[in-house]
Amino acid sequence: MKKELCFTLTMAGLMCFAMCSFNYIWINGLNIELLTILLYHWTIEFLIAFCLVFFIVRHVMRQVSHFFAFIQNNKLTFYIVMPVCNVLIMAPIMSLLVLVLIQGQFYNLKSIYPYALIRNICAALVFQIFIVGPFVRRIFQTR
């Protein structure tokens, strides 16, 4: 349980940092305010993401892993299927929450949300499968 908690904290923290950085640079470009705004947004997003992952998504992912138990290659399930499912669950929720809670985009939500969702799913898949996911799994020597 302690290892799982540390794994979730690390994965959520690094994914939020990567996605916050990506979205800020995508929208505003590189500028001097990046670090201060990033730390503020990262703190809020990290708290939301950790709570979502630890209390809700983790249980859904266990069900997904049982559903994909028919795949004989366990590494394929662990390294590809689970991260893709995680991104497909977390990206819509986090995109919506960030647009509404942090950016205050209540009125433009219909026009901004689909674009933000597609952008975030693509970026999160790359971060989860190729960068952050392998890094965190290596730290915790998972599988």
Tens-place pLDDT, residues 9-40: 999 999 999 999 999 899 888 888 888 888 88
Report, as an integer, the average pLDDT of 58-77: 74
The pLDDT score that the predictor gives to residue 22 is 94
The pLDDT score that the predictor gives to residue 143 is 58
pTM, whole model, 2 decimals?
Answer: 0.87
Tens-place pLDDT, residues 68-116: 766 666 777 778 888 898 999 999 999 999 889 887 887 888 899 999 9
**pLDDT band of 142, cuts 50, 70, 90:** low
* Domain regions of the chain by residue span: 2-140
Relative orientation angle of helices 2-28 and 109-126, to the nearest 10 degrees: 120
